[in-house]
Amino acid sequence: MYENKTDSSIKIIFILSIFVAIISSVSIVFPALILGIFEDIPKYPEKIEIFEKGVLFYPFFLVNISSSIIAILYLKDKFPYEIKNVFQKLSKFDISKRQALSIVLIMIDVYAMFALQEVWTEDTWEDYNRTVKPRLENFSFEDILQPDGIPVSFLLGKTSMIIFGSYRVIPLIFSTALLFLTYWITIKITKKEISGIISMSVVLSSAVFQTYDTTITYPNFWIVFYLLSLIVMYRFWPLSPALFGIAIMAKPLPFLFLPMTFFFIYSIKISKRKKHFISLSYLGLIAVIVSNYILSKNEIVFNYDNHEFWSGFSTIATQFRFEPIITLSLIPIIIWMFIFSKKEKKKTMLVMFLITYMLLLAPIISGFTTYTNNVHRFIPLIIFFGVSIGLLFSIQPSNLSTVQRIDAVSPG
C-alpha cells in the first residue's frame, strides 16, 4: 500500500517536473514563442517572429535527442556489456570522508585564492550606489531591532567593513560556506562523498555563482541560512525554524520556500515524531510572521500580470544564458532521475520537487508580485541542480544486476 502511494507520488511529481521543464526550455529554442502565443495585447509594436531560433537551438536538440536515445536503449536493456560495466563502476565508486574533505578544502582554497582579488573593489551594481551603500554607511547596530528592511544583511555587511575594511569579505565567507553546504546536503541525501564533490563542482563552475559570490548588494546570506535550516533537521531540529527565520530577516524570499521545506521534512529519513515536531514548529513560525505582518499594518498586494507571468517561464533562457549545463540538460536530468527512481524513490522525488518548485517561482514572483526575476534569486536552483547530478552518480541502475551476475562468475 505504501509502495503504491509512493510510486503514484513519483509519477505525479515527474509529470509536473517534465511539464514545467519543457515550458521553461521553450524559450531556449524559440525565445519569442511563449510571449508571442500567450500575450493578449502585444507589449511591443514591432512584429515579432515567434519561431526565430535561439543561439542554443541546435545544441539543445543535440543534447536532448542524444539523451533520449540513450534512455531508450537503457530501458530496453540494449547497452553492450562494456557500457553496463562502466555504469556499474561509476555508481559504486566512492571515496573516504577524509579524502573527500581534503579535496573539498583544496577546491575551496583555490576558489578563495582567486575570489580574494575581488574583495577590495566596490560593487558596480546600480542598486549598490543608490540604496545599499547609503544604508550601510548609516547603519547602526540598533537598527537590527527595526521590523522593516533586511537587518541581517546590513548587520553582516557593516561588520565586514568594521573588521576587514571591506563590505565584500563576509559575503565571500558566506559564499565559501555555501559551497561546503552544497557538498554537505548532497552527502546527507545521497550518502556518498563523491556525489557531494560533484554537486559542489557544479556550483563552483557556475557563472551566476561567480558573479554574485562577493557582492554585498545581492549577497548569499539568505541562501546559506536557508540551507542550514534544512541540514540541521538531521541532527538538531530545534535550530531549523530559527535559522529559517534568520534567512527571512536576510531576505524575505525564503518565505516562499516553505513548500520546499515541508516537502524536505516529508522526504528525509528521520523519525515520524521528529517530523511532527519540526512541522509544528514551522507552523508556529508562520503564525508569528503572519501576525507580525498584520500588526505592522502592511498590505499584501497581489496584482496578476499576464505578460509578466508568462515571461517568468523565460527566466531559464534569459537569465541562465551563461549556464549551458543547466539550460541544455535540465530535461534529461529530470528524465534520468525518474528512470532511476525505482532504486531511490524518495531521494529522486525530493530533488525533482526542489528543482521544479524553483522553476515555478519565476512566473509566480513576476506574475503575482511587483518583484522582478533577478538571476541571483535563483542560485538555489543551481545548487539543487548540482545535487541532482550528484544524486544520479550515487544510484546504481536497477537493470545492471546482469552485470553483477556476470562478474560473479567471470574468471579472475
Residue 180: inside a domain: yes
Predicted confidence at residue 6, as pLDDT, reads 66
Q: Is the pLDDT of residue 403 over 50?
A: no
Structural domain tally of the chain? Answer: 1
Between 195 and 79, residue with greater pLDDT: 195
270-303 tens-digit pLDDT: 889 999 999 999 999 999 888 877 776 555 566 7
Residue 4: inside a domain: no
55 neighbors 28 (Cβ within 8 angstroms)? no
Residue 340: inside a domain: no
Residue 56: inside a domain: yes
Residue pointed to by grid coordinates 546590513 = 154
Predicted confidence at residue 32, as pLDDT, reads 81
Residue 374: inside a domain: yes
Residue 106: inside a domain: no
Mean pLDDT of 343-349: 85
Predicted confidence at residue 41, as pLDDT, reads 47
Residue type present at position 340: F
Largest CA distance in the chain: 77
CA dihedral 115, 116, 120, 126 (to 10 degrees): 20
Mean pLDDT of 325-331: 92
Mean pLDDT of 245-267: 93
Instruction: Residue 201: give the domain boundaries.
Output: 20-86+116-333+350-407
Residue 339: inside a domain: no
Where does residue 44 rank: exposed (0-12), middle (13-18), buried (19+ CB within 10 A)? Answer: exposed
Between 321 and 119, residue with greater pLDDT: 119
Between 374 and 83, residue with greater pLDDT: 374
Predicted confidence at residue 408, as pLDDT, reads 37
Predicted confidence at residue 406, as pLDDT, reads 37
Report the number of secondary-structure helices (H) and strands (E) in the chain. 21, 0
Residue 208: inside a domain: yes
Q: Whole-number mean pLDDT of the chain? A: 86
Predicted confidence at residue 5, as pLDDT, reads 60
169 neighbors 119 (Cβ within 8 angstroms)? yes
Mean pLDDT of 310-320: 84
What is the C-alpha separation between 163 and 154, in angstroms, rounded?
Answer: 14
197-236 tens-digit pLDDT: 999 999 999 999 999 999 999 999 999 999 999 999 998 9
Between 144 and 252, residue with greater pLDDT: 252
The cell for 124 is 558596480
Give the residue among 390, 341, 392 at the shortest CA–CA distance from 187.
390
Predicted confidence at residue 316, as pLDDT, reads 83
Phi and psi, residue 344, nearest 5° = -135, 80
Predicted confidence at residue 301, as pLDDT, reads 60
Predicted confidence at residue 79, as pLDDT, reads 75
The number of residues in the chain equals: 412
Where does residue 281 rank: exposed (0-12), middle (13-18), buried (19+ CB within 10 A)? Answer: middle
Per-residue confidence band for 399, with pLDDT thresholds at 50, 70 and 90: low
Query: 10 Å Cβ neighbour count for 378?
Result: 23
What is the C-alpha separation between 127 and 137, in angstroms, rounded?
Answer: 14
Chain centroid offset of residue 213 CA: 15
